[in-house]
Amino acid sequence: MKDHEEKTLRWIEEGKLQAVMSEVRGIQHVADAFVGMLQGESVGKAILRIWADDEERTHRNLPSFHRIS
């Protein structure tokens, strides 16, 4: 088991093992994203980005959100 943990950690550090994500941008697409997730259209982590980008969030003086990996 220890060998597996060491290999996995090394792969993550080397960038060989990465999370797969399906991302949808904009709250207006939440329903379609949810239905797509239920129908198996998304893979890995399903992410809905409410704001288009960090620049828009900064412009509107909105708080940052912490990412959990």
* Length of the chain measured in residues: 69
Q: What pLDDT is attached to residue 57?
A: 54
Taking a C-beta distance cutoff of 8 angstroms, is the pair 38, 15 a contact? no
Average pLDDT over residues 39-51: 82
Torsion angle of alpha carbons 6, 7, 8, 12, nearest 10°?
100
Q: Which residues does residue 23 pair with via DSSP β-bridges, in sequence order?
A: 47
Query: Does 14 have pLDDT greater than 60?
Result: yes
Task: Assess whether pLDDT exceeds 70 at residue 7.
Answer: yes
Write down the pLDDT at residue 36.
87
Q: Are 47 and 22 in contact, with CB atoms under 8 Å apart?
A: yes
Q: What is the rounded distance in angstroms from the CA atom of residue 16 to the CA atom of residue 18?
A: 6
